[in-house]
């Protein structure tokens, strides 16, 4: 009940199979050869060929069957499944002078892409873009509801009241950012 699959992903090469090893009476270590990792903000980092071990704790249920009782947050997913279940989508941040939108490519689950994209915008740009773009909302601004809803091609983005702390010019830039992102999505 506490596992959060949206905390990122380890993407492993489909040319290799996960290696399972018992590491104790109630634990298993799964070794994979990775092609990359996905962080919670949707930033994908390639690390082709790296080996990674992931630990799982096990326990028997009332029927005597073994079940996973503790595991790290996020997914462990093969590259073909990742390509099927995630989509690449650019989000945009204004240049430091506010004259241009700079793309910041992220990967999001095919479910609720709009919500994930808005959360990524509110979270700020990737580290490599710092100094060339800027975040236009204060760090305390969040979605006020759990999801961005889309009805008849109109996205409803409800932000927390702290959004009003941004200047009118920054709120206008946020609207431009969101429009640019939503135009890229089906």
CA distances from 121 to 68, 75, 163, 172 (A): 34, 22, 13, 14
Quote the mean pLDDT of the chain: 88
* H helix runs in 79-112, sequence order: 79-85
Whole-angstrom distance, CA of residue 140 vs CA of residue 163: 8
Judge whether residue 48 has pLDDT over 80: no
- Quote the pLDDT of residue 85: 93
pLDDT digits (tens, 9 = 90+) for 151-175: 888 888 888 888 777 888 888 899 9
Q: What is the pLDDT of residues 54-113, one digit of tens each?
A: 898 999 999 999 898 888 899 999 999 999 999 999 999 999 998 999 999 999 988 888
Q: How many other CB atoms are found less than 10 A from the CB of residue 79?
A: 15
Residue 6 DSSP SS3: coil
**In this model, does residue 7 exceed pLDDT 90?**
no
| pLDDT value of residue 146 | 80
């Amino acid at each position: 009940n506490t596992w959060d699959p949206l905390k990122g992903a380890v993407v492993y090469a489909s040319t290799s199979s996960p290696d399972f090893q018992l590491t104790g009476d109630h634990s298993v270590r799964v070794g994979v050869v990775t092609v990359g990792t996905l962080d919670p903000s949707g930033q994908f980092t390639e690390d082709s060929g790296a080996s990674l071990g992931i630990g799982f704790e096990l326990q028997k249920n009332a029927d005597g069957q073994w079940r996973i009782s503790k595991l790290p947050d996020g997914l462990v997913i093969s590259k073909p499944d990742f390509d099927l279940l995630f989509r690449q989508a650019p989000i945009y941040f204004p240049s430091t002078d506010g004259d241009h939108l700079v793309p910041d490519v992220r990967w999001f689950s095919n479910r609720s892409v709009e919500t994930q994209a808005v959360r990524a915008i509110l979270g700020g740009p990737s580290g490599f873009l710092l100094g060339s773009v800027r975040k236009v909302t204060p760090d305390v601004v969040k979605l006020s509801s759990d999801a961005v809803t889309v009805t008849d091609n109109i996205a409803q983005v409800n932000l927390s009241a702290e959004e009003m702390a941004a200047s009118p010019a920054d709120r206008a830039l946020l609207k431009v950012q969101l429009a640019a992102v939503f135009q890229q999505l089906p």
